[in-house]
A and B are shown apart, each in its own frame.
Chain A
């Protein structure tokens, strides 16, 4: 019997208090049949430790502070250092200016979701791209 579930860690690096987006997306992923581990406020080290111990397929970063480059770069470096970067898809969501999308993707983020995103697009993206 195979009972594989997509596991996603939802993390809020830093302490900007905007929880709603991360919660809405988490709920959508739950309702799409995924196992969502809600990390809440985590620094980058805590996020990576959680991702490893929970053996997640995806890390979702919910960032509304404007510090998306700083956090994402540190996260990717640390995942690389721990030897798991190639095994985990990184998604970033929140108040991210559209002009920053391509640079985030260039440093290793699989996709970026700003305000107005349909949650089903996130679900579809994860399901399609994890198969590859």
Chain B
């Protein structure tokens, strides 16, 4: 199984754009035994002069029961909704791209996590509760990357997420999460990071509503008086049309990221962001979609930019 996409971008503020080959993603999964399974996800991403390859996820999982599933490997950090729901499949998501706050390479959220994860359902309730708890390597000195070759400061990151999918409101997903780590950036003293996330998603497509909020606090370990917060959120609304027009799905999204000037980790990273997005998805084939998207964005309070994107995305799978 795999995913791929090709996007055409045009902008009104500069000439950067044209055709962009998105990620080519290959995926494998297999049972190694009745309870043991392995999952892998590998990507090729177009760069200026070459393609970069990446082991995006590699997970070995042992299912004790529905309540206890223990795994180890490299994950997309289970913070919030999008990062756990859509991964690298542009075809899976309604829009052309991920929200800015959790884009691949984001410095706001640690997108990847290397470690061990315990997850499962919490039985005996009609709220459809489930949990995830993980411990592993924190961010690398390059804070956009996970500690793939080990934790650089010996201080593990850990996380918890509690999700609900109530029986009574089939299609509703909600959750809260917490993540903490001690980061050792290459250019400044150690920083303590605490992140809280919350999300609500209505996953039936008529309508589809996703809201995700993230609050992050950073402070110097040696001097906690120097600290700052980051607040980021997006809300996405989509509606798959009915009847013979059901292959069409218009959508809109609002996004915002606000970083305190005193945030010791992120203040100098130019991450403030606001955007309004309008688009439409056309599923012209069971395994391929064409999306057209208009974006009005403002990066780091530097004036607004308009751009337009057209993307064809596909999945290699037969079901």
Answer yes or no: do A and B interact.
Answer: no
Using a CB–CB cutoff of 8 Å, the interface residues on chain A facing chain B are none
Using a CB–CB cutoff of 8 Å, the interface residues on chain B facing chain A are none
